[in-house]
Structure 1
């Protein structure tokens, strides 16, 4: 695998079913959950990246402890945001303990940096979310859409819980959104006009603001 210009390691053509993980995740619950579904390749020196999903896409994982500890995570996010070669997706643990710190990272990630931020409650839920992201990136337009939809259902419960945590959504509107926008990529790219018929104007504005950079 070729070295990434940003981090210590990366890929140009990551084989399907493989994820490159930062060595620091070896033995973690998240790694164990992923290893049952994907082939994990651990490498040292991936800072600031936690997981490479492809040659151009990576995960930056912010734990509950990272949030409580302060703003140390910000440098990592900025490095990836400033890279011309990588799309960084920020996954953050939003728990009862870290919930009070979530608005700050949401503002910094979404409004200041214009990056996608996805909340999870546990590392087990994060593994399902990462699987969903990998599936979205490896879908081929020529595939039968009914088959790809069935394939995406593997991580549907985790995807539903993640969408429920988006401001303005909750348990009632999340299923409606996923019926119309069955993937995170589609939901994050939806316009206010596309969202309004599903959830109404106030919630549509909140969801759109959650995923997009303030202009």
Structure 2
């Protein structure tokens, strides 16, 4: 298998249906759950990410310990977002211990960086999610719009969950907002007048303040 030298930032070449994992995950519960269900290989010094699903798609895994330790994980996320050739999917352990930090990482990942974030309770749940992502990678492209929609569900779920975290929005207003403003960029650029047509003036002001105030 060809790939760039360790520590490089170029694309990693991944055979179809395989996962290339950073050596640090060897022996972990996550790797043990993946073995036998997908074709898993390990490489030392992988650039940027923890797992590569393809040369253009990767997973960054943020553990409970990463969240508690501080903001060190953010540099990795920014490097992937700025790489120009990678679509990064961020998997975050959301537990009783890390729950207090989750809202911040969710806003940073989805609102600031525009990346997909998927919460998991543990590595067992993460393995099921990664297997699902690999299966989606290996499916043939379909012209059926309903199948295409199904493949976008993970990304859409991440977006809805994040918009729900905006002050004043919640579970009811988030889908309504995304019907009119289907991307974070469109939502953040909307005026108070445009927003109040969907959620009323008070909430519209809260949303506008959220996106315009320095964070």
TM-score (norm 1): 0.69
Alpha-carbon distance change, 207 to 72 in structure 1, aligned in 2, over 3 angstroms: farther
Structure 1 residue 58 corresponds to structure 2 residue 58:
yes
Structure 1 residues 122 and 42: alpha-carbon distance in aligned structure 2, compared to 1, 3 A threshold: same
Give the secondary structure class of the aligned counterpart of 1:40. strand
Gapped regions of structure 2 (runs ≥ 5): 161-170, 190-215
- Measure, in 2, the Cα distance between the counterparts of 1:4 and 1:32: 26
Q: Which runs of 5+ in 1 are unaligned?
A: 150-179, 193-199
Q: Corresponding residue for 1:174? A: none
Q: Supply the distance in 2 between the matched residues of 1:6 and 1:144 (Cα, whole angstroms).
A: 40
Distance 1:94 1:189, change over 3 A: closer
> Hey, what's the Cα distance between the residues in 2 that align with 1:89 and 1:99?
19
- Partner residue, 2:12: 11
**TM-score, structure 2 normalization:** 0.69
Quote how far apart the aligned CAs of 1:3 are: 2.7
Give the secondary structure class of the aligned counterpart of 1:82.
helix
1:131 partner SS: helix
Matches within 5 A, 1:112-191: 112-141=112-141, 182-183=150-151, 185-189=152-156
Which residue number in structure 1 is paired with residue 26 of structure 2?
Answer: 26
Give the Cα–Cα distance (whole angstroms) in 1 for the partners of residues 5 and 84 of structure 2: 10
Aligned to 2:89, the other structure's residue is in SS state: strand
User: What residue is the counterpart of 2:83 in the other structure?
Assistant: 83
Deviation, 1:36, is 2.4
Partner of 2:42, secondary structure, is: strand
> Residues 6 and 85 from structure 1, CA distance in 2 versus in 1: closer, same or farther, beyond 3 angstroms?
farther
Tell me the residue number matched to 2:202: none
Give the Cα–Cα distance (whole angstroms) in 1 for the partners of residues 134 and 183 of structure 2: 19
How far apart are 1:18 and its partner, in Å? 1.2
What is the aligned partner in structure 1 of residue 193 from structure 2? Answer: none
Q: Secondary structure at the match of 2:91?
A: strand
Cα RMSD of the aligned pairs, angstroms, is 3.4
Query: Secondary structure of the equivalent of 2:83?
Result: coil
* Residue in structure 1 matched with residue 173 of structure 2 by the alignment: 202
CA distance in 2, matches of 1:29, 1:210: 37
Question: Counterpart in 1 of 2:192?
Answer: none
